[in-house]
């Protein structure tokens, strides 16, 4: 009786264990791909698979063969039959219209049939190195250089989108090899930050995209930021990527790069990436854009330079600077009681509402921070200054005591 039972069980179990395994790839819903593209492939597994079985998606060689040179694109671990999906990316391969996909199982090893039709796969676009060339970034005009970083990139076609306020707004061409005849140039109607999109398409038809941001300089001078470093004595500055505010009469040699310089009248600067120069400032050497006022000296003849009708600095958020007491100084509420009249003036002014303090010192400063008049040990809330001998312009009245500093602006006509 036992033999009969064992025989019956064997007859029932053996067909289950011997059920054939198969992996059938689903339809590929595209006829062509490019290197780097994403792909989702479904497949159906039938039969029994062993512990730690892996289902793997494979891409053939350029001739559609899986004998050698195929690539594994992705796997999932499962031993249960069913329908699954593998998400993968097309690798960098040789361009060909004869690629195919298939699925395999590992335990037991099972090869599925391929997808049944050829698939075109294009190579990934070779990298493009983007540079700027003259006149570049100045006066709303800019020229771009696209230099092939790979041996195949010189065959690509480039499509440029410069943005809505550019003229022309777009261009096409090939990467530069030995000459610049294909370098595109555009002129913007406004200055500021600009975003340029470059699409590169290989002969095989596969695109890649590069988004590039640059700045177009014009006569708009950004305010001196509160993190600017005040340079008040002759020095060599080795750091890079800093904002420097150079005082009148100061000589500075800048050995770093990517620096932004605000040069006051009388400053002498050697080296910078972006430099704003007031009348009377001088620049010996630079590596970038120069915005300067009439009367400033730019001796190197850099084509990336622009002379503006005037260059003035906004000191609203500037850091404390002894040479410019008005810069970055917010008048305390007590100064609201301080009155200057007449303002503007052609000569004498009366100052009223000054705090009573035996150590009060009153100074008249010009816009370069230079002291032109001074009263010591003032102990009166009302007193006068005669500005009749001063040149026309803007001056600052500075009242300094051990406990407070107040400033008032006055205009001499």
Domain of 98: which CATH number? Answer: 2.60.40.730
Q: Write out pLDDT tens, residues 325-352.
A: 766 544 433 355 678 888 888 888 888 8
Domain that holds residue 201: 128-216
Q: Is residue 204 domain-shared with residue 235, that is, in the same domain?
A: no
Q: Is residue 208 domain-shared with residue 244, that is, in the same domain?
A: no
Cα gap 267→77, rounded to integer Å: 70
Strand 251-254 and strand 235-237: the pairing is: parallel
pLDDT at 381 (0 to 100): 74
Instruction: Tell whether 57 is covered by a domain.
Output: yes
Instruction: Tell whether 1 is covered by a domain.
Output: no
Nearest alpha carbon to residue 152 among 199, 197, 204, 210: 204
Residues of the chain with pLDDT under 70: 1-19, 124-141, 146-155, 176-182, 204, 286-287, 299-304, 326-337, 357-359, 367-369, 401-405
Token pair in block for residue 215: 């700045």
Asked which of 122, 137, 165 is the last residue of a domain, the reply is 122
Q: Is residue 277 domain-shared with residue 362, that is, in the same domain?
A: no
Q: Write out pLDDT tens, residues 213-235.
A: 777 888 888 999 988 999 988 98
pLDDT at 109 (0 to 100): 95
* Number of structural domains the chain divides into: 4
Q: Is residue 207 domain-shared with residue 263, that is, in the same domain?
A: no
pTM above 0.85, yes or no: no
Q: Is residue 94 domain-shared with residue 150, that is, in the same domain?
A: no
Q: Residue 348's domain is classified under what CATH number? A: 2.60.40.3080
Token pair in block for residue 228: 């600017």
pLDDT at 9 (0 to 100): 40
Q: Is residue 35 domain-shared with residue 97, that is, in the same domain?
A: yes
Q: Is residue 258 domain-shared with residue 297, that is, in the same domain?
A: yes
Instruction: Tell whether 104 is covered by a domain.
Output: yes
Instruction: Tell whether 12 is covered by a domain.
Output: no
Q: Are residues 35 and 49 in contact, defined by beta-carbon separation less than 8 angstroms?
A: no
pLDDT at 190 (0 to 100): 82
pLDDT at 262 (0 to 100): 94
Q: Is residue 26 domain-shared with residue 102, that is, in the same domain?
A: yes
Nearest alpha carbon to residue 123 among 211, 205, 38: 205
Phi and psi torsions of 3, nearest 5°: -65, -35
The DSSP call for residue 10 is H
Cα gap 270→282, rounded to integer Å: 9
Q: Residue 156's domain is classified under what CATH number? A: 2.60.40.10
pLDDT at 134 (0 to 100): 42
């Amino acid at each position: 009786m036992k033999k009969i039972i064992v025989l019956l069980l064997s007859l029932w179990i053996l067909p289950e264990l011997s059920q054939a395994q198969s992996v059938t790839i689903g339809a590929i819903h595209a006829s062509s791909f490019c290197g780097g593209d994403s792909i989702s492939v479904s497949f159906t597994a039938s039969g029994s698979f062993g512990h730690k079985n892996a289902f793997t998606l494979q891409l053939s060689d350029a001739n559609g063969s899986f004998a050698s040179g195929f690539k594994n694109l992705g796997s999932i671990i499962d031993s249960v039959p069913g329908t699954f999906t593998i998400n993968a990316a097309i690798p960098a391969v040789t361009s060909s219209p004869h690629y195919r996909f298939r699925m395999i199982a590992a335990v037991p090893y099972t090869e599925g049939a391929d997808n049944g039709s050829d698939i075109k796969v294009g190579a990934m676009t070779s990298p493009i190195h983007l540079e700027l060339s003259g006149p570049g970034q100045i006066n709303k005009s800019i020229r771009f250089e696209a230099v092939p970083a790979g041996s195949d990139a010189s065959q690509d076609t480039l499509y440029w989108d410069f943005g809505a306020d550019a003229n022309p707004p777009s261009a096409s061409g090939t990467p530069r090899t030995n000459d610049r005849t294909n370098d595109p140039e555009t002129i913007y109607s406004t200055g500021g930050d600009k975003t340029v999109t470059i699409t590169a398409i290989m002969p095989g038809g596969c695109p890649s995209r590069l988004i590039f941001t640059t700045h177009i300089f014009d006569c708009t001078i950004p305010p001196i930021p509160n993190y600017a470093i005040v340079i008040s004595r002759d020095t060599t500055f080795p750091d890079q990527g800093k904002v420097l505010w150079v005082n009148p009469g100061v000589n500075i040699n800048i050995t770093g790069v990517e620096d932004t310089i605000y040069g006051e009248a009388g400053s002498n600067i050697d080296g910078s990436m972006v430099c704003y120069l007031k009348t009377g400032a001088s620049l010996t050497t630079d590596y970038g854009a120069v915005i300067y006022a009439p009367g400033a000296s730019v001796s190197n003849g850099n084509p990336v330079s622009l002379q503006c009708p005037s260059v003035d600095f906004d000191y609203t958020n500037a850091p404390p600077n002894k040479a410019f007491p008005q810069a970055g100084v917010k008048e305390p509420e007590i100064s609201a009681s301080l009155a200057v009249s007449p303002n503007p003036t052609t000569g004498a002014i009366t100052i009223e509402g000054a705090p009573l303090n035996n150590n009060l010192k009153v100074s008249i400063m010009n816009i370069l921070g230079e002291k032109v008049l001074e009263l010591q040990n003032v102990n009166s809330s009302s007193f006068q200054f005669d500005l009749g001998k001063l040149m026309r312009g803007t001056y600052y009245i500075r009242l300094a005591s051990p406990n407070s500093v107040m400033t008032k602006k006055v205009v001499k006509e």
